[in-house]
Structure 1
Amino acid sequence: MKKADVGNIIEFRDGLKGIVEKVNENSVIVDVTYMDNYRDYELEQKTVVNHKNYRIIQAQA
């Protein structure tokens, strides 16, 4: 399993997407305002996702 880096776009929990803002030992902090419709999901602007629960869909160049 490859850990995400800051700036990567990840997908988690049934298609939600966000930009990684911070990488911790066991999780990442993700800014979900990347999605235009994030308010439809009643989410906060940032969320924590365990490394086991996401996949990288776009790596930072």
Structure 2
Amino acid sequence: MKKAEIGNIIEFREGLLGLVEKVNENSVIVDLTIMENYRDLELEEKTVVNHKNYKIIQGTL
């Protein structure tokens, strides 16, 4: 499994997208505000996702 890098866009939890801001040993911290419907979903701006729970959608911006 390839780990995400800073700047990657990942998909997790059935369709949520996030921009990777920090890579930790077991997880990444992602910015969710890149999603068009971010405000409608009433989510926090950032979240932590374990490396096992995402797939890379787009390479580094």
TM-score class, shorter-chain normalisation, is over 0.9
1:43 deviates by 1.0
Task: Give distance in 2, aligned partners of 1:41 and 1:13.
Answer: 13
Runs of 5+ consecutive residues of structure 1 not aligned to the other structure? none
Q: Residue 14 of structure 2 aligns to which amino acid in structure 1?
A: D
Runs of 5+ consecutive residues of structure 2 not aligned to the other structure? none
Q: Residue 38 of structure 2 aligns to which amino acid in structure 1?
A: Y
Displaced runs of 4 or more, over 3 A? none
Q: TM-score, normalised by structure 1?
A: 0.94
Q: TM-score, normalised by structure 2?
A: 0.94
The Cα RMSD (Å) is: 1.0
The reply to whether residue 9 of structure 1 matches residue 9 of structure 2 is: yes
- How many residue pairs get aligned? The number is 61
Aligned-pair identity (%): 77
